[in-house]
Amino acid sequence: MAADRVPRMRHYWRLVAEAGDTPVTLGTSHLWLTDSLERSIAQPTPLPKN
């Protein structure tokens, strides 16, 4: 299982984001990116017709 899919790691980064002074941590931005990529693969956008 990929590290970004491990529930404990996801929970950890959510807590870090809530408790930290920094608006976005590297871990949080990584999760946003991988979640977005996963959604884009699961529901691809149709190509425009020419």
Contact 27, 35 (CB under 8 A): no
Contact 19, 37 (CB under 8 A): no
- Reported as a pLDDT band with limits 50, 70 and 90, residue 4 is low
Q: What is the largest CA-CA distance in the chain?
A: 50
Looking at residue 41, its pLDDT comes to 83
Tens of pLDDT, residue by residue over 14-37, are 777 777 776 676 777 788 788 888
- Reported as a pLDDT band with limits 50, 70 and 90, residue 3 is low
pLDDT at 11 over 80: yes
One-character DSSP codes across 3-49: GGG-HHHHHHHHHHHHHSSSSS-HHHHHHHHHHHHHHHHHSPPPPPP
Q: What is the pTM of this model?
A: 0.43
The first and second tokens of residue 38, run together, are 């996963």
